Amino acid sequence: MLLVDDILLFPASGILWIFRAVNQAAQEEMAGEAEALKSGLRDLYMMLETGVISEDEYDTREKALLDRLDNLQSEEE
- pLDDT tens, 6-63? 777 778 778 888 989 998 998 888 888 889 999 999 999 999 999 999 999 999 999 9
- Residues of the domain holding 43: 2-76
In total, how many domains does the chain have? 1
Give the three-state DSSP class for 24.
helix
Identify whether the C-beta of residue 38 lies closer than 8 Å to the C-beta of residue 49: no
Question: What is the torsion angle, in degrees rounded to the nearest 10, for the CA atoms of residue 14, residue 18, residue 20 and residue 23?
Answer: -170
Cα separation of 3 and 17, whole Å?
A: 19
Q: What is the DSSP letter of 52?
A: S
Q: Which amino acid is at 41?
A: L
